[in-house]
Amino acid sequence: MGNERKIRVGMVGYQFMGKAHSHAYRDLPFFFDTGVVPVMAAVSGRNEKAVQAAANQYGFESYETDWRRLIERDDIDVIDIVTPNNVHAEIALAAMEAGKHVICEKPLALTMDQAREMKAAADKAGVVNAVCHNYRFAPAVQYAKQLIESGRLGRIYHIRAQYLQDWIMDPSFPLVWRLRKEVTGSGALGDIGAHIIDLARFLVGEIDELVSEMTTFIKERPLGEMSGGLNASTEGGKMGEVDVDDAVSFLARFQNGAMGVFEASRFAAGNRNGNRFEINGEHGSIRWDLENMNNLHVYFTDDKAGQQGFRTINCTEAEHPYAAAYWPAGHIIGYEHTFIGLFAETFRAIANGTQVKPDFEDGLRDQAVLAAIEASSEAGRWVKVEQA
Ligand SMILES: NC(=O)c1ccc[n+]([C@@H]2O[C@H](COP(=O)([O-])OP(=O)(O)OC[C@H]3O[C@@H](n4cnc5c(N)ncnc54)[C@H](O)[C@@H]3O)[C@@H](O)[C@H]2O)c1
């Protein structure tokens, strides 16, 4: 490892995703030889005391109090954006203009215009541009993709996917940035719906058209801030309007003829992080859920009569993508490994001068589905998804 090229990372933001990404940088070289080694060069944040504490805790060499300084610095190769959605575009565009590789959290942008501009700038700059749809990198999800691509399920007829949480159900939970349209773009839709849209695109294909319904159950909340993870603090009781969706559901028709039924909600009591899908094909079905993320449930129609039924594959065998890089079979992995897998591909792309997937094209295509869902809900009818 000692002689490998060092790739120096500057990260903007340092809270929930800041912690997840920092952890992945530290662990990446333990598990993957990508040809380069990430170095946690600097983290930036507007509150000096807090960003200094984050730099110490996560292990960054230095910190800045303005993200523009990260971009000016010659000793930084990659800008990692873990801020709320309203500043993704500005930071990514400046970083790519300066020739830096970019890792950007999802959803890529606030609007289609921003997402298009980001994709065009990425094409022009020719830098590696990753968008953090990390759930693709669960070995069980990668194995699902292999089964589908190898034809094991035959023609795909259905996907039904849900991303259900319950952390904002209490009406006194504050009006954090995730509930303010100007900062977040949309509510449950862009926050968690964006992930199941990406998984559906990854596993089944592009969505041609859709019809949706979006709802806001609690329309006013006390003002407040995120305080780490999915926790929040209030600011003394003043109320503000919630102007994003609390829940969304939609039906989709895929270009390949498959049908999709989707639901994203932060009002599904008891569902802490219920990101799950079932896919039904000509020769069988598969099921996955994040809270049991090592397992893929499979059913094959050619199993012997009398022995048919769903069975569980623990995707920790050497045959399962990424699994061999971690631990021996049965020694399960967790949420944080999805980021390590994503970063393995990102740094491999940097080492080899190639492109990572999912990239800004995927971010733009995901954004086009988000935009179509909003348009459909507003118009009350089926709408076509813009194809990037
Ligand atoms: N991939 C995933 O599974 C996943 C999970 C959670 C969040 N996210 C995405 O990650 C991003 C960050 O979410 P989070 O949960 O870490 O949020 P958070 O509120 O925990 O942290 C946001 C960070 O950005 C900083 N910040 C806020 N506004 C800023 C600005 N204008 N300029 C510079 N820095 C600013 C804050 O100080 C904080 O450090 C969002 O885009 C979110 O959608 C992705």
- pTM here is 0.97
pLDDT-derived band at 2 (thresholds 50, 70, 90) equals low
> CA-based angle 215:388:79, to the nearest 5?
85
What are the beta bridge partners of residue 80?
A: 11, 103
Question: Quick check: CB of 96 below 6 Å from ligand 1?
Answer: no
Question: Quick check: CB of 134 below 6 Å from ligand 1?
Answer: yes
pLDDT one-digit tens code per residue, 4-54: 899 999 999 999 999 999 999 999 999 999 999 999 999 999 999 999 999
**Residue written as tokens 């500057």?**
10
Is pLDDT above 90 for 3?
no
Best of 58, 91, 105 for a ligand 1 pocket test (most atoms within 8 Å of beta carbon): 105
CATH 3.30.360.10 fits 137-355+366-379, yes or no: yes
pLDDT one-digit tens code per residue, 52-92: 999 999 999 999 999 999 999 999 999 999 999 999 999 99
In angstroms, what is the span from residue 117 Cα to ligand 1's centroid?
Answer: 21
Counting Cα atoms < 13 Å in the Cβ hemisphere of 23 gives 13
Question: Quick check: CB of 67 below 6 Å from ligand 1?
Answer: yes
Question: Quick check: CB of 34 below 6 Å from ligand 1?
Answer: no
- 133 CA: nearest ligand 1 atom: 1
- 83 CA: nearest ligand 1 atom: 24
Residue ranges of the chain that CATH labels 3.30.360.10: 137-355+366-379
Question: Quick check: CB of 43 below 6 Å from ligand 1?
Answer: no
Length of the chain: 388
pLDDT one-digit tens code per residue, 91-121: 999 999 999 999 999 999 999 999 999 999 9
pLDDT one-digit tens code per residue, 198-237: 999 999 999 999 999 999 999 999 999 888 888 888 877 7
Mean pLDDT over all residues of the chain? 97
What Rg value do the Cα atoms of the chain yield, rounded?
21
CATH 3.30.460.80 fits 5-135, yes or no: no
- 67 CA: nearest ligand 1 atom: 33
Q: From 162, 196, 158, 226, select the one nearest 16 (Cα to Cα).
A: 226
pLDDT of residue 268: 98
Residue ranges of the chain that CATH labels 3.40.50.720: 5-135
pLDDT one-digit tens code per residue, 290-347: 999 999 999 999 999 999 999 999 999 999 999 999 999 999 999 999 999 999 999 9
pLDDT of residue 236: 74
* Tokens representing residue 122 in the block: 């990425």
pLDDT one-digit tens code per residue, 269-288: 999 999 999 999 999 999 99
Question: Quick check: CB of 12 below 6 Å from ligand 1?
Answer: yes
pLDDT of residue 149: 98
**What is the CB neighbour count within 10 angstroms for residue 177?**
16
